[in-house]
Amino acid sequence: MFAVGNRIKLRPYMGGDNLTEGKVYEVINTIISLNKVTITNDLAIKEMVPAWLFELVLTPQFKVGDVVVCNTDINPSSFTQGNSYTIIESREGSVPGYIHMIDDEGEYNGWKTVFFDLVPIENITTVDTKTGEVMEFRQVAERHNDGKADLTLLPKIACEQEALVWEFGAKKYTRDNWKKLWGDKTYEVANASLMRHAFAIASGELIDKETGLPHAAHIRCNAAMILEYQMKKEKK
């Protein structure tokens, strides 16, 4: 459950008349018993909405000297959405966190950290005027991801539905029961299940009656079993 002051983003395909898919909102109040939160919608009206529609946006750790960009149309405010500012003072330890900058009017001003995003400035080059030495700085952590699978490309909702099928199987049998499938019958057993779900979709049935989850999610699980076995077998 989210906490007051959290930044939460509306999940894909959940947009509506007063909420925008992918937009970030601030939690004003929470009702844990109902699993609901209160936010200010696109019409500037406080609205109580189901918490499961959103995902938490992790706030970066701001520090003095960081460059941030205003991510929200704050009205009234002397900070402009899309404009960048340099942090002069950070009080991120407070709730909610605050950072202080020079605003659009040239005044020393502070505002909530939830309204700003860290600007990922890389390879900032400067020259020491005394020694002539060229120095490079990074505002973001260095990563070496070349050649590695970019898992952020995976469709989020489809992955979540597949995970729910795995959870159902873990509760019905055991967590790693599916691994007992390894052997000559792996393709036969997993493919038979996959085809049953595929034919269910072809006949117009989209949701599995036993699990209440999409047949397509079951197909992904069976395909994963086949692929997992295939890749492990090829490595031997």
**Cα separation, 32 vs 3, whole angstroms:** 10
Residue 235: its H or E element: helix 215-235
pLDDT at 189: 87
The letter for the amino acid at 94 is S
Single out the residue of 185, 193, 180 nearest to residue 221, CA to CA: 193
Angle formed by the axes of helices 186-202 and 215-235, to 10°?
160
Question: 68 exposed, middle or buried (CB, 10 Å; 0-12, 13-18, 19+)?
Answer: buried
pLDDT at 135: 54
Contact 51, 37 (CB under 8 A): yes
Q: What are phi and psi of 220, to 5 degrees?
A: -60, -40
**Cα separation, 41 vs 18, whole angstroms:** 6
Cβ-based neighbour number of residue 19 at 10 Å: 18
Single out the residue of 165, 168, 173 nearest to residue 215, CA to CA: 165
pLDDT at 156: 87
Single out the residue of 99, 133, 104 nearest to residue 116, CA to CA: 99
pLDDT at 216: 96
Record the pTM: 0.42
Single out the residue of 25, 107, 111, 9 nearest to residue 68, CA to CA: 111
145, two tokens: 């991801």
Per-residue pLDDT of the chain (236 residues; tens, 9 = 90+): 687 877 788 888 777 778 888 888 888 888 888 888 999 888 888 999 988 888 877 655 677 888 888 877 766 678 888 888 888 887 644 445 678 888 888 888 887 777 787 776 554 444 555 566 655 555 444 555 566 777 778 888 899 999 999 999 999 888 888 877 667 778 888 899 999 999 999 999 999 999 999 999 999 999 998 888 888 877 76
Q: What are phi and psi of 197, to 5 degrees?
A: -70, -35
**Cα separation, 17 vs 86, whole angstroms:** 35
